[in-house]
Structure 1
Amino acid sequence: MFHKILIANRGEIALRVLRAAKELGIQTVAVHSTADAEAMHVRLADESVCIGPPPSRDSYLNIHQIVAACEITGADAVHPGYGFLSENAKFADILDAHNITFIGPRADHIRVMGDKIEAKRTAKRLGIPVVPGSDGAVTEDAEAKRIAAEIGYPVIIKASAGGGGRGMKVARNEDDIDVALATARSEAGAAFGDDAVYIEKYLEKPRHIEVQVVGDGDGRAVHLGERDCSLQRRHQKVWEEANSPALNAADRSRIGMTVANAMADLKYAGAGTIEFLYENGEFYFIEMNTRLQVEHPVTEAITGIDLVHEQIRVASGAGLSVEQKDVQFNGHAIECRINAEDPKTFAPSPGTVSHFHTPGGLGVRVDSAVFSGYKIPPYYDSLIGKLIVHGSNRVECMMRLRRALGEFVVDGIKTTLPLFQDLVNSRDIANGDYDIHWLEKYLAKADT
């Protein structure tokens, strides 16, 4: 096992990793920008190192400073959390060159899955079902129209290096192709420095289903079930639950074992998530995230398996603590992402939190690094906490969530708590009857 882990992140995920490391008896190092000098993970870590000024490029994305912090403190491993450098293959390579373990997959797997075109090819080769579309990048209008005619309209044009909804355009007929292709390429180039795009069949009312997997890097992998992440705003997840209300046990086992077998064949190491669109009983691969997900707590709630512990075990060479036969799914869990944003306009709301009170009771978990008096800086993602609720079934979970939301207090800033208080009372949500477009339509109606 490791002697000392440096946590190359901030906020609630840095605190989450720190707690897991301490439970395993491992010393921790927090890195922070000048804006985060008083952050909770900095206060609780065994050591801390300031790595630069507030902008992420000068601190949390500064590989040189992070490696230097490892050398100064004697850290023998780095956990990247999610975001920032968590899916940066160059970072993993540099750590390896300095004999520091990257707590995550191998750099070549990060590279493959980070390129959406290559990821789709790899998924297809491994037996994972994919969305019909182009085999590679598309550059010419004529080629795009030919492919679209073959797979049928509507189609979606996506940035190969994209994410977060940028570089994505829908074409509903041949007349839309020219503008959609040019716009997607322009957005992709501006956002990611790579204007390569590809075409896929556009599904009208799919759900977003993702399968959690953990591999040992030596040809063994287990799946921990699926999460339903269909409630999204601008392609950003808002509410996640496990298991999905749309799947039955047979669907769950079928897609779970498909993913687990594929990751075993790939000799994937650590935690990863395979994301699918799901419509009319069929799964279609869209991407793989080679890291811990924001929504990992709902999987932990229904399986009782600590994903960060598993990441650390695998990276240290100890292997997985469970086999597939050990994985049991118990009850239902829902996570609400609480952001420091105006619940109507979603404009960021940084500032000082004058009072912070989290709900409690059986089956209630809050992952947050916020405290009363904490100053939320304007430089980073607006996520300030995650409310995770677990119940013996979905009905009990929804009732418990409604109660917990009523107890949650964050004063001094605006948050998205009122949005969730509305959603938990929606008939469609109660019935589990929603798709990836539902929330956008709901919010549009609320504005009229």
Structure 2
Amino acid sequence: MKKVLVANRGEIALRIMRTLKSMNIKSVAIYSTIDADAPFVKFADEAYCVGEPAPSESYLNIDKILEVAIQTNTDGIHPAYGFLSENAEFAQRVSDLGIKFIGPSIEAINVMGDKLDAKQAVKAFDVPMVPGTDEEILDLDLGKKIAAEIGYPILIKASAGGGGKGMRVIEHDGEFDSQFKRAVSEAVSSFGNGAVFIEKFVQEPKHIEIQVIADQHGNVLHLNERECSIQRRHQKVIEEAPSPVVDADLRKKMGDAAINVARACNYEGVGTVEFLLDKNKKFYFLEMNTRLQVEHPVTEMITGLDLVEEQIKVARGEKLGYSQEEVQLNGHAIEVRVYAEDPENDFLPDLGSLVHYKRPTGLGVRVDDGYEQGMTIPLTYDPMIAKLIVHGKNREEAIEKTIKAISDYEIAGFSTTLGFCRYAIDHAAFRDGSFTINFVNEFFKPEVLRKEITTDKSAAALKLFRSLGKEQVKQSIKAPLSAWKINR
């Protein structure tokens, strides 16, 4: 494999290209007109504009992407995550051209891309599942009957869903009709598929996922777990590896279950099996993501593996170069996602220009990002600016190093999630590991950030003046000054 086209943008495109360069593989970037000056475009060996900013005109335009692949004599296409990463049609068309799709088989994408199909596939492998239906529910009255049999609270989920879309928690019978209809409607608008099913709502759960890797020779391993319970809108904000509540015995059981899920769909490459873990340490299969995960760096930090390199080796037909017993678990890693969002305003996007941008540095500190100072965060795409990843010799050290790295991260021009992440990581429930996916609802109130902003406003303003200059500061603080827009 001498040349790989990266069918994505931003921080993940740049991250993949860096590994390609280390492997002496040429990289091809595709980009929309709004991304013409992005770092990933400049870093690539070749770069081609594929359309306007709207994803349908560029990063989701299969025809244009494949035209570039043919034009550049590409050997492989890496889809990263999001966009076309779990699109079976794209994977099929790539394969039909004789180009290697750096990801799982089309069979695996299809099976695990539909939650109901996934449930059916893993049934024969004795993987624990949340009590509920394993078929689509079309009839409202039948749904109410099943919900009563399972027992409230229940969860309605879109079969083709993801990211919390088409998902509704129903506390009692009186809510069923309206919430069922809303879930179906949202599933149709988000995925073009209104199929929904019902599960028991697991209360006070933790979200634990297992990284798996499989080669083309029948070898399937797990690379330990990640703790992903700090979420907003059913989407992760903070991840860590390993989980503070998973011991060696539970790790083996969950790892074995994840391997069985991978075997159920003849998996190939890197993938993630997601579980819910209840307060009694019982775990239940949620779904499998047939791609690289946003949070893969924390696994890399504790195992010493480059997961993108591993993906490419598998795609080239190589056998895994290590056994399950040789998979390391070295220290502890934490990742915080730096979104251009305002935690004080229900985490809504708060986009703008990067008036000032300075990354934290230090031993064990890694920043995966895709922007430079002066760039504008576009409305068109996900508002994630960067991922801050920190490694320590143990969890306590990783927490302290992460708090310091957040304080050293300087961003001016808009609000970010850094303030929330610092608050969460320093919270007693995080430190003792007792937090669940309900952390935001249970503990977070915007006032906690406003209090800190008031305390730190003078120091923050002084630091900004010193680093930017008076006129730039005036432009950056037309809105009320926020310490977390500067992040001290």
TM-score normalised by L of structure 2: 0.89
* Secondary structure of the structure 2 residue equivalent to 1:344: helix
Per the TM alignment, residue 347 of structure 1 is displaced from its structure 2 partner at its CA by 2.8
1:79 and 2:73 equivalent?
no
Instruction: Tell me the amino acid that sits aligned with residue 182 of structure 2.
Output: T
Aligned equivalents of 2:20, 2:446: Cα separation in 1: 45
Q: Which runs of 5+ in 2 are unaligned?
A: 451-488
Q: Take 2:415 and 2:140, find their aligned partners in 1: how far apart are those partners?
A: 45
Bigger CA drift: 146-155 or 230-239? Answer: 146-155
* CA displacement 1:143-172 (0-9 Å, x = unmatched): 212322332221111111111111111222
How high is the TM-score relative to the length of structure 1? 0.97
| Number of the residue aligned with 1:202 | 201
1:354 Cα deviation (Å)? 2.2
Deviations 1:75-119 (A, max 9, x none): 111000100000000000000111111000011110111111111
Q: Deviations over 1:352-379 (max 9, x none)?
A: 2122111111111110112122222221
Q: Paired residue for 2:295?
A: 295
User: How many pairs align?
Assistant: 447
Q: Which residue pairs with 1:186 in the alignment?
A: 185
Aligned to 1:414: 415
Look up the match of 1:110.
Answer: 109
Contact 2:216 2:317 in 1 (8 A): no
CA gap 1:204/1:340 in 2 versus in 1, 3 angstroms:
same
What's the counterpart of residue 310 of structure 2?
310
Of residues 427-436 and 144-153 in structure 1, the stretch that sits farther from structure 2 once superposed is 144-153
Return the letter of the residue paired with 1:288: M
Partner Cα distance (1:158, 1:223) in 2: 27
Letter in 2 for 1:204: Q
1:133 matched to 2:132? The reply is yes
Deviation at 1:265, TM superposition (A): 5.3
Q: Which letter maps to 1:306?
A: D
Q: Tell me which amino acid in the other structure corresponds to 1:303.
A: T
Per the alignment, residue 320 of structure 1 pairs with: 320
Residue 331 of structure 1 is matched in structure 2 by 331
Q: Secondary structure at the match of 2:83?
A: coil
Larger Rg: 2
d(CA) in 1 for partners of 2:198, 2:343? 34
Equivalent residue number for residue 460 of structure 2: none
Describe the superposition over 1:191-250 as per-residue Cα deviations: whole angstroms up to 9, x where unpaired. Answer: 211111000000111000100001113321110011111000010101001111121111
- Aligned partner of residue 197 in structure 2, secondary structure: strand
Aligned to 2:221: 222
**Structure 1 position 163 matched with structure 2 position 162:** yes
Contact 1:211 1:224 in 2 (8 A): yes
Cα distance in 2 for partners of 1:109, 1:21 equals 25
Distance 2:124 2:150 in 1: 20
CA contact (8 A) 1:343 1:417 kept: no
Structure 2: how far apart are the matches of 1:61 and 1:368?
Answer: 22
More deviation, 140-149/266-275: 140-149
* Cα distance in structure 1, aligned partners of 2:123 and 2:96: 32
CA distance in 2: counterparts of 1:19 and 1:311, whole angstroms: 14
Structure 1 CA distance for aligned equivalents of residues 67 and 264 of structure 2: 36
Superposed CA offset, 1:301-337 (max 9, x none): 1111111011001111113232212101011111000
Residue in 2 that maps onto 1:439 = 440
Are the counterparts in 2 of residues 217 and 267 from structure 1 also a CA contact under 8 Å? Answer: no
Asked if the contact 1:232/1:440 (under 8 Å) is kept, the reply is: no
**What's 1:256 paired with?**
255
Change (3 A) 1:343 1:181: closer
Contact 1:219 1:265 in 2 (8 A): no
Structure 2 equivalent of residue 269 of structure 1? 268
Tell me if the contact between 1:189 and 1:195 (Cα under 8 Å) persists in the aligned partners.
yes
- How do 1:324-363 and structure 2 match up within 5 A? 324-345=324-345, 346-363=347-364
| Alpha carbons of structure 1 residues 281 and 424: separation in structure 2 relative to 1, 3 Å | closer
1:42 aligns with 2:41: yes
Q: Give 1:45 deviation, angstroms.
A: 0.6
- Distance in 2 (CA, whole Å) between partners of 1:182 and 1:207 is 28
3-state SS in 1 of match to 2:228 = strand
CA distance in structure 1 between the partners assigned to 2:331 and 2:63 by the alignment: 45
* Superposition deviation, residue 445 in structure 1: 6.8
Is contact 1:123-1:129 (8 Å) kept? Answer: no
- Alpha carbons 1:28, 1:46 under 8 Å: kept: yes
> In 1, are the aligned partners of 2:154 and 2:199 still within 8 Å (CA)?
yes
1:378 corresponds to which residue? 379
In structure 1, stretches of 5+ residues that fail to align are none
Distance 1:445 1:37 in 2: 36
